[in-house]
Structure 1
């Protein structure tokens, strides 16, 4: 039973360490968190939603539209009418004939009026413009999506760089720890040598000074680590405690460019889709002269209430009486209309032609930008390939220098123990190895950075290769 309790207690002690090791985020998790938090990528997604709304708006043009309107108010209107002189021929023996003289009269209608109207309309043919505008918006959306891929690559680059810097700092800590172990051993040797009078107090102080410098570098390491934790926290939104558990390893990336065509780059793809969008825009603007056809149907009502209709003169020369009529109400219902209407702009003041010319210029600008981008990206690819090749050769060079520094320090430690060299020479050999170790790790870091840039050169950046 006691054995079980002891084992259980040990498990409880190590359990937090086990769980914390399991929760340390890897590069994939960091990048996923960074993509979810990146504000520029979020803004680009919202811009794409604008384009989707424009597409929906275009589709809605062909949906039926129903309008209902009405009004009620007081009406007072006067109409002036002058009837010409009319001669009615004689028709014997039935009609003796007569002349109706010219008559000037004014008719006034006053009272309340009300009207209501329901009208439905649907666009049947837009002249083909809507079709091409929709295709232009599709290309615009593809262009925006391509630019989002460029942003994604930049996020991956930024986070992977911070991740590699984290690894570089960890490797630096290992180098410093190894230096500290060696200095502690050499300090004990120096203490004995000082006691026997084999070295001077000055030589002994040199060892202590080297330890102090090493402690200073340890403090600097902690500061760099905290800064990187803050940077990754800002980029990803993850907790500091979780990020602090990261313990990555610097390993060179082996990559070979199989296809040196830069036209797969997101920038070129975005411009290509932009050019296609301009072409569809030109076709849409070219349809300005096409007739537009729509079907219309309406139902109307008109009514007069408590009205008075009067005339200033007699109704007619042969009717010696002025009009003074007060109908209770007059209603006209229903007034139904259905039909097809069209609009054909024969001449629009060159507005349509100007729009076509503008679309042509937009296309030419995009084509020029594409050519310029291809030239610059091809140069960028060549530059990144050169940097990658140099970085690879630097790893081999720094590895060789590190090996030489290790052998030199081993020899210096032997000679120091035998008293054939001074402590300053031992410390110099220690510093050389420390510098060689850090130079090697920095070379691996630079090689990884150059590999990432080379992958981006041909739009071939994949997280699983990092």
Structure 2
């Protein structure tokens, strides 16, 4: 009865191990999706990338703000050492002119003395020594020579480049989380294999004790089982340490509580690896947008030689302290044309164009590497399927061998050493089968990522 129970346990382990092989198209594990979501939220590199993208959005607003009028209010108080006035000769001339005008208006002959009872108007100062001013100024760029327009387009493509770079970073984080999660699933599957071996050794220990009591076995057989149990305990400890390490890694990647991670029981579920055509990778899209951004930046630098047109306006709120030469308000339209700047704009534009050419080389290199990675990933995936088939046959053979040797041992036709060796072979075959499923899942994930189809 116990042997039948052991056989049933081994069959269950084998069946569970074969599930990923038979269900490559099943849905994504919701627990894994939750961990991926938390990992993306926690990632510092993604958060930094999003902040860079926000800065690019601010750059766009800055480029647009060039065409908005700039309005400023100003006020000031100034005290001079003295009033600014005409010199004495000029003042005498102005007063004499004033007398002539008054005499002419009153009909007094030119040669007649000026009447003393008629007051003369004092000559105003050019500028009083106490000056209080309050004014508003308006500066409005009407045409920037396409400099602001090209800066806006460059900032938009920079934002797009950062967006795709962030998507590529998300893919790398997703791959890391999936790999760690799969390793945890492999540890769990391995622990099930070790648990089955532990159950058998306990059963075999009970059987040997009875055989020794009846004189059908020697204490050496019991010592062999005890040694096998110690070796099994060492393997279980190793897998326990591996599990603790993987939980720590997942905790750092996702920020999930360690107790929650320790309670997870993932399995090696399959990932659909269909024959859909590859899509353009985020890395390539990021480089293409960066190339466009540098092209518009080069145009922006060249546009410095195009004339700029701006409007300027000024209005004084206080008139009392204005000098005789100060206007109350004025409006003007001006043109600024940079004819020669020592070649700086041309050299900066040339430097930016070379940077754009570097991006083009990186794009071509990336496309070549991606095409090669797709071929390698397809070959690795096909090889992983074949290795899983081979591992399955090895488990079937090791299981049949173990059952045969176990029956022979019960009938005193095989030694306990042969039984333990057969059990180790079965255990090793089951480990290899689980590892083949792990590699198969890794190959499928890598293929999807290479094709740009890793959608989580």
Asked whether the two chains share a fold, i.e. TM above 0.5, the reply is yes
What's the CA shift string for 1:251-298, capped at 9, x where partnerless? 34341343256xx11111111111111222222223222211112211
Determine if the alignment matches structure 1 residue 235 to structure 2 residue 253: yes
Q: Is the 8 A contact 2:126 2:324 kept in 1?
A: no
What's the CA shift string for 1:391-415, capped at 9, x where partnerless? 1111111111111110011011101
Q: Distance in 1 between matches of 2:408 and 2:347?
A: 89
The answer for the alignment partner of 1:419 in structure 2 is: 412
Helix, strand or coil: the match of 2:338? coil
**Which of 256, 263, 266 pairs up with 1:248?**
266
Q: Is the 8 A contact 1:304 1:331 kept in 2?
A: no
Helix, strand or coil: the match of 1:342? strand
**Which of 110, 128, 132 pairs up with 2:146?**
128
| Matches for 1:171-210 after TM superposition, within 5 Å | 171-210=189-228
Question: What is the deviation of 1:67?
Answer: 1.7
Q: Distance in 2 between matches of 1:111 and 1:190?
A: 119
Helix, strand or coil: the match of 1:299? strand
Determine if the alignment matches structure 1 residue 29 to structure 2 residue 34: yes
How many residues are aligned here? 394
**Which of 289, 298, 305 pairs up with 1:289?**
305
Q: Classify 1:80/1:380 alpha carbon distance in 2 versus 1 (closer, same or farther; 3 Å).
A: farther
Q: Distance in 1 between matches of 2:286 and 2:370?
A: 14
The answer for the alignment partner of 1:154 in structure 2 is: 172
Question: What is the deviation of 1:235?
Answer: 1.4
Q: Is the 8 A contact 1:25 1:243 kept in 2?
A: no
Question: What is the deviation of 1:330?
Answer: 6.9
| Matches for 1:394-409 after TM superposition, within 5 Å | 394-409=387-402
Q: Is the 8 A contact 2:127 2:324 kept in 1?
A: no
Higher share of residues assigned helix:
2
The answer for the alignment partner of 1:43 in structure 2 is: 48
The answer for the alignment partner of 1:385 in structure 2 is: 378
Higher share of residues assigned strand:
1
Q: Distance in 2 between matches of 1:389 and 1:80?
A: 101
Consecutive unaligned residues in structure 2, runs of 5 or more = 1-28, 90-109, 112-124
Consecutive unaligned residues in structure 1, runs of 5 or more = 1-23, 84-93, 96-106, 306-328
**Which of 282, 285, 305 pairs up with 1:269?**
285
Determine if the alignment matches structure 1 residue 55 to structure 2 residue 71: no
Helix, strand or coil: the match of 2:276? coil
Q: Classify 1:349/1:173 alpha carbon distance in 2 versus 1 (closer, same or farther; 3 Å).
A: same
| Matches for 1:66-145 after TM superposition, within 5 Å | 66-76=71-81, 111-145=129-163
What's the CA shift string for 1:435-458, capped at 9, x where partnerless? 110110011011111111111111
Q: Classify 1:281/1:204 alpha carbon distance in 2 versus 1 (closer, same or farther; 3 Å).
A: same
Q: Is the 8 A contact 1:75 1:109 kept in 2?
A: no
TM-score for the superposition, normalised by structure 1? 0.78
Q: Classify 1:357/1:80 alpha carbon distance in 2 versus 1 (closer, same or farther; 3 Å).
A: farther
The answer for the alignment partner of 1:437 in structure 2 is: 430
Q: Distance in 2 between matches of 1:330 and 1:287?
A: 41
More contact order relative to length (CA 8 Å, sep ≥ 6): 2
Helix, strand or coil: the match of 1:441? helix
Q: Is the 8 A contact 2:146 2:303 kept in 1?
A: yes
The answer for the alignment partner of 2:9 in structure 1 is: none
Give the CA RMSD over aligned residues: 2.7
Q: Distance in 1 between matches of 2:359 and 2:79?
A: 61
Q: Distance in 1 between matches of 2:71 and 2:169?
A: 44
The answer for the alignment partner of 2:184 in structure 1 is: 166
- Single out whichever of 268-277 and 294-303 deviates more from structure 2: 294-303
What's the CA shift string for 1:196-244, capped at 9, x where partnerless? 3332221221012112222232233322222222222221112222222
Runs of at least 4 residues of structure 1 off by over 4 A? 77-81, 107-110, 301-305, 329-334
